[in-house]
Structure 1
């Protein structure tokens, strides 16, 4: 559709939608910002954001209606899971945190289009408007950033643009948009889906509280159990025969990630949540050359977030069966997740732990 040509033009330069050699070149430029050492330096900033968000939850509970009640309530998605990844990505790109609400709104519009098997023209137009706005935001920011380069990811991309033209300006802008969109969706859905799954399986939640060292294993299992991305699309580069079916070069195939993560040929009793499971890798971050570049960042954010929630919100639990789900077919995403927690004593304090992901 020619009306959506600008949407296609921007995303056609994204790391998500190109193959080698363009994909190899772009990924090499971006890899520096996602190496374990670089992400470990980011951990204190993530902890600061998590602490501030939980401070806000506790402060609202202290002055809210029913302040003398034993338990306080909040919406985990609205107050924590949605803002956290947007603020982290903003920090990585070196952009203003106060623009977070725009980032989230733009990402939601793009996700609604990508996640709809049969998007309406209205959904498609809204997605294009938001992607253009996101692209324009970064385009206007470029002169300021070129004049004051830092250690953030956007500065690294600008250096690659200037250093022999490893990437073009249009490619640079497309990668910034990709990071803002993709980094937000996966992490917030892991946090929401994972928290709901744990609280719906009290024995698993209690085991994790008793033994927080299980968090790395638990996060992998939560990603397998309820994948934030349920399916993806690929074009075949060669003819393929599978289970007696011939698929031709150029055919669109839809790998069902959520189904693969519950394949009984791969995982024993796959519909059971087991935070101690050790049966190989899930596919929630993809596989091969296009495996998610931000997977390690997602693990890091989620571990810091979950550990802090366990420490600061005692007796955390569901508020009945009041959660609500989005209707996006690609992204398994909660709109609301009301939770309750015991009001902490004035002497309560924050504990932190160093986290490591290779």
Structure 2
């Protein structure tokens, strides 16, 4: 099978030719590049099936975190919190926790949040108004989702610089096909630091409940819908991490793609009503999440290969989104002619709970950029991509304003 050199600079800059070669070589491949080995799936239909099929379990953290003999005791605290996050739970626990959180992500709740998002975008862009150039990641893409999820959670110090460090350490661990012991230790330190932060916030919310996600989780704990304190802390940490990571990278990847296709940027200036469809196409074209993982719960056969109970399966979301069987001319950015249909937010029971929020933040931010900075251009010939093959995003995105 063609090798995917996950850490290679050319792969990180553009993984899609490698995905194409892998997909053309076959729908399923065994790879030793992941911890313990994994089955890689390349086609849209298979990726969607695995994300929906209960025979493929989201509970996959055990060997990942503590698979190395020397790590089992040292990383026990990490595993205790990490494994309880909704991302890594199956039914019925996943549905139980998702039901608690769903109320905070209903369309009416998010629409009521739109003025706060708009005001935040305006404030952030006001700070760079008149500058001949600026870094979109630093000025907008990083702070916006952090402030929004912080507002939703009732976090008063949403500009806390520690949040970005904690998120980066977790993303570095989750996004490595074979995380090093050092990456695992840093991720544990950051997750436990998040836990300590939320211990203080939870104590304040117990004394003074509010209308926010943390207060909602406390109410669910009191009602028995959240089963224990570790489960409560895990959801708080997961919300802060996930609420920041995907949106940040969609803002950066999406703007970089649009400015690399000036005709599409100009079309949006002429027809801003196309923005919702454009954001869906940008998600497909360069997904912030390039792959995820599942564990096989029962031996089965897929494309002639026997997948055994416990095997790791890696659905390659980035490859599925460029599958020509699902998306004709998949390497072409087309903000008008696509029907959506990407798997960038997952599919089935684990579809991203914050998908609507992420799209809304991106639409509002892009609308402001189009209105205020119509002459925006890329300043860097070579974008500075982060060394993370799973969470695809930019370290920096320098733009010229006129």
Q: So what's the TM-score if we normalise by structure 1?
A: 0.90
Which residue of structure 2 aligns with residue 354 of structure 1? none
* Aligned counterpart for 2:293 among listed residues 227, 230, 233: 233
Which residue of structure 1 aligns with residue 110 of structure 2? 39
C-alpha spacing 1:226/1:318, structure 2 compared with 1 (3 Å)? same
Are 2:78 and 1:18 equivalent residues in the alignment? no
- Could you tell me how far 1:140 is from its partner in structure 2? 1.6
* Aligned counterpart for 2:176 among listed residues 94, 116, 128: 116
Contact 2:150/2:158, CA 8 A, preserved across alignment: no
Q: Say which SS state the counterpart of residue 57 (structure 1) adopts.
A: coil
Alignment deviations for residues 197-239 of structure 1 (CA, whole Å, 9 cap, x no partner): 0000111111111101001100010000001011110011233
Are 2:343 and 1:272 equivalent residues in the alignment? no
- Could you tell me how far 1:332 is from its partner in structure 2? 0.7
Are 2:85 and 1:8 equivalent residues in the alignment? no
Aligned residues between the structures: 331
CA distance in 1, matches of 2:89, 2:276: 31
Q: Say which SS state the counterpart of residue 246 (structure 1) adopts.
A: strand
* Superposed counterparts of 1:143-182, under 5 Å: 143-164=203-224, 166-182=226-242
- Could you tell me how far 1:7 is from its partner in structure 2? 1.0
Contact 2:147/2:159, CA 8 A, preserved across alignment: no
Which residue of structure 1 aligns with residue 310 of structure 2? 250
CA distance in 2, matches of 1:267, 1:15: 31
CA distance in 1, matches of 2:401, 2:160: 27
Alignment deviations for residues 28-53 of structure 1 (CA, whole Å, 9 cap, x no partner): 00000001011111111111111110
Are 2:186 and 1:126 equivalent residues in the alignment? yes
Are 2:276 and 1:205 equivalent residues in the alignment? no
The root-mean-square deviation of aligned C-alpha atoms, in Å, is: 1.3
CA distance in 2, matches of 1:314, 1:58: 13
- Could you tell me how far 1:249 is from its partner in structure 2? 2.3
Alignment deviations for residues 260-300 of structure 1 (CA, whole Å, 9 cap, x no partner): 00000000100000001333410000011111111011011
- Could you tell me how far 1:311 is from its partner in structure 2? 1.1
Are 2:157 and 1:97 equivalent residues in the alignment? yes
Q: Say which SS state the counterpart of residue 306 (structure 2) adopts.
A: strand
Are 2:145 and 1:85 equivalent residues in the alignment? yes
Q: Say which SS state the counterpart of residue 339 (structure 2) adopts.
A: coil
C-alpha spacing 1:280/1:58, structure 2 compared with 1 (3 Å)? closer
CA distance in 2, matches of 1:57, 1:176: 32
Q: Say which SS state the counterpart of residue 112 (structure 2) adopts.
A: helix
CA distance in 2, matches of 1:7, 1:26: 20
Could you list the runs of 4 or more consecutive aligned residues of structure 1 that deviate by over 6 angstroms after TM superposition? none
Q: Say which SS state the counterpart of residue 263 (structure 1) adopts.
A: coil
Are 2:118 and 1:54 equivalent residues in the alignment? no
- Could you tell me how far 1:320 is from its partner in structure 2? 3.8
Q: Say which SS state the counterpart of residue 13 (structure 1) adopts.
A: coil
CA distance in 1, matches of 2:230, 2:167: 19
Q: Say which SS state the counterpart of residue 133 (structure 2) adopts.
A: strand
C-alpha spacing 1:167/1:300, structure 2 compared with 1 (3 Å)? farther
* Aligned counterpart for 1:224 among listed residues 259, 271, 284: 284
Alignment deviations for residues 160-215 of structure 1 (CA, whole Å, 9 cap, x no partner): 11124544222121111001111111001000000000000111111111101001
Contact 2:78/2:192, CA 8 A, preserved across alignment: yes
- Could you tell me how far 1:87 is from its partner in structure 2? 0.8
Q: Say which SS state the counterpart of residue 235 (structure 1) adopts.
A: strand
Contact 1:83/1:100, CA 8 A, preserved across alignment: no
Which residue of structure 1 aligns with residue 354 of structure 2? 294
CA distance in 2, matches of 1:108, 1:277: 35
Q: Which runs of 5+ in 1 are unaligned?
A: 62-71, 343-358
Are 2:373 and 1:337 equivalent residues in the alignment? no
- Could you tell me how far 1:98 is from its partner in structure 2? 4.8
Contact 2:297/2:309, CA 8 A, preserved across alignment: yes
